[in-house]
Amino acid sequence: MGESSDEGTDASVLESLSADRRNKRDALAREGIDPYPVRFDRTATAAELHRRHDGLDPDVRTGDQVRMAGRLTSIRGHGKLSFATLQDVTGSVQLLMQATTLTEQATAVLANLDLGDWVGAEGEAVTSRRGELSVDVTDLHLLSKALRPLPDKWHGLAATDTRYRQREIDLLANPESRRVFDIRFNTIASLRRQLVAEDFVEVDTPILQPQAGGALARPFLTHANALDIDLSLRIAPELYLKRLVVGGYERVFEIARNFRNEGVDTRHSPEFTALEAYRAFGDVHDGMDLTERLVIEAARSAAGRLTFTVGGRDVDLAGPWPRRPLLDWLEQVVGRRLHPSDPVEEVRAVCDAHGVGTLPEWGSGKLIFELYDTVLLPTVTDPVFVVGFPVEVSPLARHSKDDPMLADRFELAIDAKEFANGYSELNIPEEQQQRFVGQAEAVARGDLEAHPADLAFVRALEYGLPPTSGIGIGVDRLVMLIAEVEAIRDVILFPMMRPEASA
């Protein structure tokens, strides 16, 4: 927001609201009540209390003495009787506070309470006359003071930049935001659980790399002072993971934060999360099988269903998902069989006819890929595996046994977006070397996104990479689908933003 806001110059209102809260805190301290106690022993969460006592008649005393802790989200003073809502990680429970039965300390704390304060409450589980499960509080502890007022309890927090910059209050004020991130973490937990169950080992590989490989993208650059060398932030963990397979880890995966120095929009974040998994002795078909299992089970586990609606479009994840050869599908749509071996001018003409923008240095394979990306992909809603991509745009994938210009590679398309990618890994060192040379020529032509030659990787292949199936899944996009949100920023806790105005 405005910027003269540091230094306390804009001050007035917020300052006085905070001053009130500060004064209450200090008042308690003067009465000998520590406003920042070091610990509190909780004996029950809100969910546990509801589990134990839901369904009781009104005005019942259970005899169950509990100590609850959480944040105060609502206070309804009623003279000598007050109601409050205490919210913890599991849910919320009502506090019922009667002046006649509160301890002296509880009375003092209650008098100096504000919305947003962390409190610990001791008392008996009862139901109110209206039948709501409540804690009939006898003692009350301030656990930490909220010196700043929370957003509107009913309308929540709507200002988008505040939601992203101060995610903590977005989570506090907007249950919807909390729901989305619960789904995110459940999704990731499910992916991890499944892979571990299938004997994959979770590993971690370098984020700072001498050269960023494993994908085609512009990297972020940085510098290591100790070695006086330039480094890139990784754009994909692929090459290191395959080196681990060379080293004998037959099944590995990494849930990797990747960094790409490219556009920021609803579907792209410079910092995003990918799952990559490699499995020795498998091929591209095993990769598709694994991808389908992982995605379906993640959706079931995190959302409890397989149908989702995003932006008015219905997506059904129920399998098995169709597998469509790219060239067949393209033929149906453009009315002509294309192949990477076709003369560039002819493929380019098809691109022109379908309004696909091209660059002069692109070969037939790249042009075919662009046709897929801009003509075919946007028509997808339910999941489809597209198989058989030009080798020209797949520098790390094995060529197909019966067509050396096509790679044994799939992309998983859902809702007009690429969700996953995978292939039979190229494990022939000389061919990998040759592919890198081809990419180097692209660099020479000015292509900023060609794959750099990685000699350490080729050397690793020379020690022998077994036949290997590899997959990569875009975790953020998967979460967007399962949580039914349209902006990638809504599934990333702290998305990249310009810094707030400096003091």
Q: Which residues contact 194 (CB under 8 A, 6 or more apart)?
A: 293, 294, 297, 298
Instruction: Name the minimum Å distance from CB 228 to RNA.
Output: 29
**Contact letters for RNA, residues 164-203 (x by CB under 7 A):** x--------x------------------------------
Is 439 a binding residue for RNA by CB under 7 A? The answer is no
Q: Which long-range contacts (CB under 8 A, 24 or more apart) does 365-374 make?
A: 365/340, 365/390, 365/391, 365/392, 365/393, 365/405, 366/390, 366/392, 366/393, 368/326, 368/327, 368/330, 368/338, 368/339, 368/340, 369/393, 371/330, 371/334, 371/338, 372/326, 372/330
Is 104 a binding residue for RNA by CB under 7 A? The answer is no
Task: Choose the stretch contacting RNA; rule: CB under 7 A; options: 11-19, 177-185, 244-252, 335-343.
Answer: 11-19
Instruction: Give the separation between CA 110 and CA 79, rounded to whole angstroms.
Output: 12
Is 100 a binding residue for RNA by CB under 7 A? The answer is yes
Is 219 a binding residue for RNA by CB under 7 A? The answer is no
Give the nearer residue to RNA in terms of CB position, either 259 or 436.
259
Is 445 a binding residue for RNA by CB under 7 A? The answer is no
Q: Dump the DSSP string for 45-88.
A: -HHHHHHHHTTPPTT-EEEEEEEEEEEEEEEEEETTEEEEEEEE
Strand partners, 94: 85, 134
CA distances from 429 to 176, 398, 426, 460 (A): 50, 11, 8, 8
In the region spanning residues 304 to 323, those forming contacts with RNA, defined by CB under 7 A, are none
Task: Choose the stretch contacting RNA; rule: CB under 7 A; options: 5-13, 27-35, 139-147, 430-438.
Answer: 5-13
Give the nearer residue to RNA in terms of CB position, either 24 or 234.
24
Size of the site for RNA (CB under 7 A): 80
Task: Choose the stretch contacting RNA; rule: CB under 7 A; options: 72-80, 246-254, 295-303, 429-437.
Answer: 72-80
Burial classification of residue 239, based on how many CB atoms lie within 10 Å of its CB (0-12 exposed, 13-18 middle, 19 or more buried): buried
Q: Which residues contact 54 (CB under 8 A, 6 or more apart)?
A: 133
Instruction: Name the minimum Å distance from CB 108 to RNA.
Output: 14
Is 227 a binding residue for RNA by CB under 7 A? The answer is no
In the region spanning residues 21 to 40, those forming contacts with RNA, defined by CB under 7 A, are 24
Answer left, alpha or beta for residue 126, where phi above 0 means left and psi between -120 and 50 means alpha.
Answer: beta
Residue holding tokens 């079931």? 300
CA dihedral 278, 281, 282, 284 (to 10 degrees): 90
Instruction: Name the minimum Å distance from CB 122 to RNA.
Output: 18
Is 352 a binding residue for RNA by CB under 7 A? The answer is no
Give the nearer residue to RNA in terms of CB position, either 136 or 286.
136
Q: What is the DSSP letter of 196?
A: H
Instruction: Give the separation between CA 344 and CA 12, rounded to whole angstroms.
Output: 68
Q: Do 410 and 386 touch, CB atoms closer than 8 A?
A: yes
Task: Choose the stretch contacting RNA; rule: CB under 7 A; options: 77-85, 201-209, 301-309, 453-461.
Answer: 77-85
And the tokens for 254? Answer: 């990494």
Give the nearer residue to RNA in terms of CB position, either 103 or 201.
103
Is 253 a binding residue for RNA by CB under 7 A? The answer is no
In the region spanning residues 152 to 171, those forming contacts with RNA, defined by CB under 7 A, are 152-162, 164
In the region spanning residues 458 to 487, those forming contacts with RNA, defined by CB under 7 A, are 474, 476-477, 487
Task: Choose the stretch contacting RNA; rule: CB under 7 A; options: 258-266, 335-343, 345-353, 384-392.
Answer: 258-266
Q: Do 116 and 81 touch, CB atoms closer than 8 A?
A: no
Task: Choose the stretch contacting RNA; rule: CB under 7 A; options: 3-11, 28-36, 40-48, 323-331.
Answer: 3-11
Is 129 a binding residue for RNA by CB under 7 A? The answer is yes
In the region spanning residues 416 to 435, those forming contacts with RNA, defined by CB under 7 A, are 417-418, 421
Cis amide prior to 320 (ω within 30 degrees): yes
And the tokens for 399? Answer: 């060529």
Is 446 a binding residue for RNA by CB under 7 A? The answer is no
Is 297 a binding residue for RNA by CB under 7 A? The answer is no
Q: Which residues contact 65 (CB under 8 A, 6 or more apart)?
A: 122, 123, 124, 125
In the region spanning residues 380 to 409, those forming contacts with RNA, defined by CB under 7 A, are none
Give the nearer residue to RNA in terms of CB position, either 209 or 251.
209
Q: Which helix (H) or strand (E) holds 371?
A: helix 364-371
Give the nearer residue to RNA in terms of CB position, either 333 or 487.
487
- Single residue of 29, 34, 81, 349 touching RNA by CB under 7 A: 81
Residue 339 exposure: Cα atoms within 13 Å on the Cβ side: 7
Q: Do 354 and 327 touch, CB atoms closer than 8 A?
A: no
Instruction: Give the separation between CA 420 and CA 412, rounded to whole angstroms.
Output: 5
Give the nearer residue to RNA in terms of CB position, either 78 or 401.
78
Is 451 a binding residue for RNA by CB under 7 A? The answer is no
Instruction: Name the minimum Å distance from CB 297 to RNA.
Output: 21
Task: Choose the stretch contacting RNA; rule: CB under 7 A; options: 27-35, 279-287, 288-296, 493-501.
Answer: 493-501
Is 107 a binding residue for RNA by CB under 7 A? The answer is no
- Single residue of 1, 189, 318, 349 touching RNA by CB under 7 A: 1
Q: Do 365 and 340 touch, CB atoms closer than 8 A?
A: yes
Instruction: Give the separation between CA 487 and CA 293, rounded to whole angstroms.
Output: 25
Instruction: Name the minimum Å distance from CB 333 to RNA.
Output: 18
Is 257 a binding residue for RNA by CB under 7 A? The answer is no
- Single residue of 39, 130, 223, 401 touching RNA by CB under 7 A: 130
